[in-house]
Structures are given as C-alpha cells and as structure tokens.
Structure 1
C-alpha cells in the first residue's frame, strides 16, 4: 500500500465511481480498477461493492477512509509548507453557510482579495453538517458554520453573532395567527441546516404543528416561497431586512434564547496553517452584530 493507492481509494469513495475518479486523477479507469483490486488483495478485505450505478464503500472501506484523507492532506500540507515563503499565496479553499455568504462575507472577501492578490480564494456553500463533514475530511481548509459545535478535531472561533427571526408571508401579522394555519409548511435548506432544527424547535415550543418541510437549495428561493404564502422559515434578520422593508414578508422576533446564534469559523486542529490561512484568520476575527434596521 502506498500513497497513490490511497489517493485513488479516496477519489473513488468520494465519486462513487471508478470512471469519475480516473477522470479526476488523469488516468484510465482500468488503472484505477486494478489498483483498487490490488489494494483489496493486500489488505485482505473488500473496500467497495460494485453495482450497475458505480461503487459503494463497505464497512472496511469506511473504516480506512479517514486515514486516506489524512495521508492526502499530510502530503498536500508538506508541499504547501515547502513552497510557503511567508507571503500569502496559493489556493485557500473555504466553505460557508449561504446566509453568512449573503450577509457577511462580501466585504471580508473583497478586502482579502485586494490585500493578498496572489491567493486564489475558493468559497463553496452548504449546510452546517455538510461543511463540518468537508472540513473533517480535509476537503475544506475551514468553514463558517452555525454554532454550537463540539468536536475534538476542530478548532473554532466565534466570528459573528446573529439574530434569527421567524419569517412569514405579509398577511401573518402575529405568531398566534400561525396556529390557525392548517397544514403549515416550513421552508428550509436541506437536512443538516442548524436553522432548520431551530425552526422546528421554535414552532414546537408554541404548539404549532407543521407538515413535511419543503427543501430548497438557495436563500432567494426560500424567501420567494415564504413571500408567496407557501410556508414559514427561520433566518438571520440581516438577510431578510430588505424583503421586509419592501413589504414582501413579515418578520417576527423571538426570545433571546431562541434568536441568538453564533457563527463560527472552524478548521482542523492538525492541519498546516499556511500564510494565506493565517492572513485570513487575522481578517476574520470576531465582528460586532449587524445593525438592525427598523
């Protein structure tokens, strides 16, 4: 077993396909298939179940996957350290909640890009659960997620404090009015979004029954559906203030213990901190809450 075997194993596990892994690694499928088969023979276990749609990991494959990620990241960190002369440069791959990207990151990323033009900054969005998984798997160097977070392999720092509000159609003037809505739907991001979990808790606390949630992948889609009266959602006040001022939605403030949420920046404790990451961490220090508009 060598590092190239583990790289192939990690790529196949991520894509669920020998062919797509081969394309990423700039080789042919037969080579990937042979190397994976050789790795399985060396370890004496089956790592993937083959089927018509591709492959899926066996329990043995799942057990060794974290080691593949560590080895791949360790080599990448060694290469980055050798080339890191102290001036921020190279790629910096981060993740963020879509709400945080919309509300907070534009000025921060603009300032960083102007200050460090040699850094290629890449930011992808996702739910808190997805982003944490990506950081833990070494696929993201860091991510902005909703707290609280507790994991021994993650370093975290508070960067923002947000106020969450319940968002409804304009016709809903009070939270009590929601109790009269039959088949009330929640409009949410995909499973793994911490705001979704809080919304369910807020409504349950008020004795409001809900139907199966509707899932959307973008903030604009969620706000549009709520505005049209399809359902309700829970979002940071700052990202919906504009729609509220335009009369497209109503917002309802919550008790502090339900409304206050911290946005954290998380990264692996064992990852190499490059000069680019160090510069970004300096810029991403704790910020005051966004000013509320009324």
Structure 2
C-alpha cells in the first residue's frame, strides 16, 4: 500500500461519496475506484460497500480506518519535522451540530485559517447523536457538542462555555406581556422544538411534562435558525440557546418569557478520542478553539 491509497481511503470514509472524494483530491472518479480496489486487494479485505451513490464502511473498513488515520498523521508529523519553513501543514477534520456550526464556530474557523493557511480544514456538520460516534470510528479528529457536561470512558471532554437557554415568543404572542407564568399557560400552546434525539429538547420536554404540562402541540425542526424565524413570525414558543437569539431579544424582535430554566445546564464542549495521536496541526486547532470559545459571550 502507499500513502496515496491511504489518503484516498481516509477521504472517502469522510465524504462517503466517490465524486466528492475525487473532487477533494483533484482526481477523476476512476482513480479513486482504482486506488481503493488496489488497497483492498493488497489487504485481502473488502473495506467498503456502495449503496447507490453513497459509501458505507464494512466492519473491516471501520477497524482499518484508525490505523490509516494514524499512519497519515505520522506522515504529516514527519513532513512538519523535516520542513525548513516550520509552517504547520496537514488536515484537521472537525464535526459539530447545526447550532454550533451557525453561531459558535465561524469566527474560530476564520481565525484558524488566517493563522495556519497551509493546514486543510475538513468540516463535517453532523446530527448530535452521530458526533461522538464519528470520533470512535475515526471519521473526525475533533467534535463540538452542545450538551449536558458529561464524562466518557473513551473520549476526552473539555468544557468551553456554559450556554444559557431562553424560552421566547414574538412580541404579539399572548404570553409576551405576562410578568409571571404557570404551567397551565402552556396548555394547548404550539412548541417549536428541535429534532427528536436532541439532548436539550428531550430534557426540556421531560421537565414540562414533570411539572404537569399537557396538550402540547409540537412543531419539529432540524435547524435553530428555522425555529427562531418561526418564533418571530408568531408560530409558537421556542426554546433556544441564548447565543442564537441574543440580538433578536436585545432588539425586541423576540420576547424572553419569565420561566425559570436554571435547572437546564448545557455547555459547548470539545471532544476527541483518548487513543488518538494528536498531530501538531490538530493540537494547534484545539488550543485556538479553547482560547477563542472560552472568551465568547
């Protein structure tokens, strides 16, 4: 096997698509197919299956991926050590959910690109329940999650920033002018919620039910920005992290309801696998992420 084959396999495992892999590596699709076939023949195992236009790793492919990743990282480290310029090179694969992609990470990614122009960033937006798995399967180097602080047996977790939540409505909503609320005020209201499986949606909904709420009508969305826009249009009550709605609340476009959410403690967190070798480029990204996001407000 050679480095090009391993890089092609690693990229294909990340994109799950032959055309995108070819475009990313400046190959024609047939070159990707040829290199994967040659790698499979040399290893004597099938690394992936094609399902329509998408690619799925086999069990053997998932087991092989961390080793391919380590070899590529070692090569990057060697190139960096031998480089006369001393400039960081290599690739960093990042994963995050939609909310953090939109409201926390753009400034970080721009600053990293300015400081380390020769490091290639691959960004993978993922649903919340797939983020930790992407680390365990070697598909991402670092992921960011918005969740309750937690400890994992195989993942390192760095808590970066506590994220308060607000319950908000449009200025013309019937509850917007209330100075106090009881659980009965939520009966038969339309709740604008994130998709099932989202940790803060699950926690919030459990809390309302525990306090006696019933007859709630749920409208489910997979985007915090969509929830915000629907709330501003008067479609219902939204629960969102303050980072997503701070400007709208300050301008009076959304009204924060007087409902105690102090028991909901969620935070922006950075995770990476305990067994992963951290290359100089990944280390630089993690250090910058810690500095930038801990200063966010």
TM-score normalized by structure 1? 0.71
Task: State how 1:39-58 maps to structure 2 within 5 Å.
Answer: 39-58=39-58
1:265 aligns with 270
Whole-angstrom distance in 1 between the partners of 2:92 and 2:84: 13
Alpha carbons 2:13, 2:139 under 8 Å: kept: no
- Comparing 99-108 and 126-135, the one that deviates more: 99-108
Give me the whole-angstrom Cα distance separating, in 2, the residues matched to 1:52 and 1:107.
36
Matches within 5 A, 1:31-110: 31-83=31-83, 99=99
Aligned counterpart in structure 2 of residue 171 of structure 1, from 166, 169, 174? 174
Q: Gaps (5+ residues) in structure 2?
A: none
SS at match of 2:257: strand
Say whether residues 1:283 and 2:286 are aligned partners: no
Cα distance per residue 1:106-163 (max 9 Å; x no partner):
88788x67xx953349695655445545555364445364342433443332222222
* Cα contact 2:192–2:218 (8 A) shared by 1: yes
1:196-215 matches, cutoff 5 A: 196-209=201-214, 210=216, 213-215=219-221
- Cα shift readout 1:261-281 (whole Å, capped 9, x = no counterpart): 232233444312457347526
CA contact (8 A) 1:46 1:58 kept: yes
In 2, Cα distance between equivalents of 1:91 and 1:84: 19
Offset of residue 104 of structure 1: 6.0
Which residue number in structure 1 is paired with residue 193 of structure 2?
A: 187
Please give the per-residue CA displacement for 1:190-244, whole angstroms capped at 9, x wherever unaligned. Answer: 5664333333333332343555652233x43221112334343322235434433
8 Å Cα contact 1:226-1:249 kept in structure 2: no
Structure 1: segments with no counterpart, 5+ residues: none
